[in-house]
Amino acid sequence: MNDTKKEQSTTHKIGIYLWIWGLLFVLSFFSYMVDWYNFQGLLRWSLILIFMFLKAGLIMAFFMHLFWERYALVNVLLWPMTAIAGFLCLMIAEGKYTVFTRLFYFFTGG
């Protein structure tokens, strides 16, 4: 292992970690509140997704230091997610179709 190498600007002020930490608690609290107040429908889903992506983004950007990494690494890590996004979207369509065929043949008797 190459052991003498270190990342550039390796240390950050402790404050930034505490800030992010606090924000994560607040966001988790908010997403818990979504359930507490029993929001339903589109509002619930969009709120869940917003808080989820905010939390994930904060963890990745600051705790995992992606914000300070060079773009080469960041891009190599994030672009493959398009494959997941594509898979996800196609599976949404497929799930809807499956449930449609199930109900259709259930009621029409095949």
Partner 1 sequence: MSDDLNIKKSSKIKTKSSSVSGGGTDIDYVRPAELPEQDLYHGHSFITKWIFCQDAKVIGIQYTLTAVFTGVVGLILSWMMRMQLGFPELFPFLTAESYYQFVTMHGMIMVVYLLTALFLGGFGNYLIPLMVGARDMVFPYVNMLSYWMFFVAVVVLMASFFVPGGPTGSGWTLYPPQAILEGTPGSEYGILLMLISLSLFVIGFTMGGLNYVITILQARTRGMTLMRMPLTIWGIFTATVLALLAFPALLVSSIMMTLDKVLGTSFFMPTIIKAGELLSYDGGSPILFQHLFWFFGHPEVYIVALPAFGIVSDLISVHSRKNIFGYRMMVWAIVIIGALSFFVWAHHMYVSGMTPWFGFFFATTTLIIAVPTALKVYNWILTLWRGNIRLNTVMLFCLGFILTFVNGGITGIFLGNVVVDVPLSDTYFVIAHFHMVMGIAPLMVIFGAIYHWYPLITGRFLDEKLGKWHFWTTFLGAYSIYFPMHYLGFIGVPRRYFEMYDSPYVTSAVGMNEFISVAAFIVGAAQFIFFFNVVRSLRLGKRAEKNPWKANSLEWLTPSMPPEHGNFGKELPVVHRWAYDYNVPGAKKDYITQTTPPSEVLGAEVEKT
Partner 2 sequence: MTDPTLDKLPDGFKGMSSDMGSDQTTFKGVNWGKAMMWIFLLSDTFVFSCFLVAYMKVRASVTEPWPYPSEVFGLEVGGVPVPLLLIAIMTFVLITSSGTMALAVKFGYEKNRKMCGLFVLLTAIGGLTFVGMQAFEWSKLIFHDGVRPWGNPFGAEQFGAFFFMITGFHGTHVSIGVIFLFIFARKVFRGDFDTGRRGYFTTMKSNYVAIEILGLYWHFVDLVWVFIFAFFYLW
Q: What distance in Å separates the CA atoms of residue 59 and residue 64, rounded to the nearest whole number?
A: 6
Q: How far is the CB of 82 from partner 2 (least distance, A)?
A: 12
Q: Which of 70, 82, 108, 110 binds partner 2 (CB under 8 A)?
A: 70
Q: How far is the CB of 28 from partner 2 (least distance, A)?
A: 5
Nearer to partner 1, 14 or 84 (CB): 84
Q: What distance in Å separates the CA atoms of residue 110 and residue 101, rounded to the nearest whole number?
A: 9
CA angle 52, 47, 42 (to 5 degrees): 130
- Please choose, from the candidates 47, 73, 48, 45, the residue with its C-alpha nearest in 3D space to the C-alpha of residue 60: 73
DSSP letters along 9-37, please?
T----HHHHHHHHHHHHHHHHHHHHHHHT
What number of chain residues touch partner 1 (CB under 8 A)? 16
The mark string for 41-80 relative to partner 1 (x by CB under 8 A, - otherwise) is: ---------------------------------------x
- Would you count residue 81 as binding partner 2 (CB under 8 A)? yes
Nearer to partner 1, 7 or 94 (CB): 94
